[in-house]
């Protein structure tokens, strides 16, 4: 992995953590009531995304243990999309943005989307190039859309 990618990731995550932490620690209104519709919806989306992300990773790890080399993942969300792990992570950070309801959180959700969709498209294209029997109706990251 090139060092520019490592340093870019460190810089981005440092800035993201600082901006979200600063907002939540110093700028967020103090008179919040705690349980609001955006908190309930955001937390539900965050945990749904986490479930999808972790479930996908578990299935991919199990697939590697069954047979050496690359295989076409099948079943669960893999029937609809090539990268359910990216889809889950996008959902997670949209959930966080809804809970935090701040510019830094929304910025992070948008960045996550803009970072993971091209990666998912790249993975999807790789699967199609390397497997003749790759499912034709499977999308890259957003079920039935993209």
In a domain? residue 3: no
In a domain? residue 7: no
Q: CA of 12: how far to CAs of 19, 64, 84, in Å? A: 10, 31, 23
In a domain? residue 5: no
In a domain? residue 83: yes
Angle at 103 between CA 100 and CA 104, to 5 degrees: 75
Tokens 């359910």 belong to residue: 84
- pLDDT tens figures, 5-18: 888 889 988 998 99
In a domain? residue 23: no
Q: What's the number of domains the chain is made of?
A: 1
Mean pLDDT of the chain: 90
> Tokens at residue 125, please?
């294209």
pLDDT at 33: 65
- pLDDT tens figures, 31-71: 666 788 989 999 999 999 999 999 999 999 888 887 777 88
| Residues of the domain holding 87 | 34-146
């Amino acid at each position: 992995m090139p060092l520019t990618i490592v340093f870019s990731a460190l810089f981005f995550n440092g800035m993201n953590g600082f901006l979200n932490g600063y907002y939540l620690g110093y700028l967020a209104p103090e008179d919040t009531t705690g349980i609001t519709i955006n908190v309930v919806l955001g937390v539900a989306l965050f945990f749904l995304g986490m479930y999808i992300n972790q479930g996908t990773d578990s299935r991919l790890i199990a697939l590697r243990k069954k047979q050496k080399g690359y295989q076409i993942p099948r079943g669960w969300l893999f029937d609809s999309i090539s990268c359910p792990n990216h889809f889950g992570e996008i959902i997670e950070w949209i959930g966080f943005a809804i809970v935090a309801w701040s510019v830094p959180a929304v910025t992070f959700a948008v960045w996550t989307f803009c970072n993971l969709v091209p990666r998912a498209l790249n993975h999807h294209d790789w699967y199609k190039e390397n497997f003749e029997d790759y499912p034709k109706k499977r999308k890259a990251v957003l079920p039935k859309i993209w």
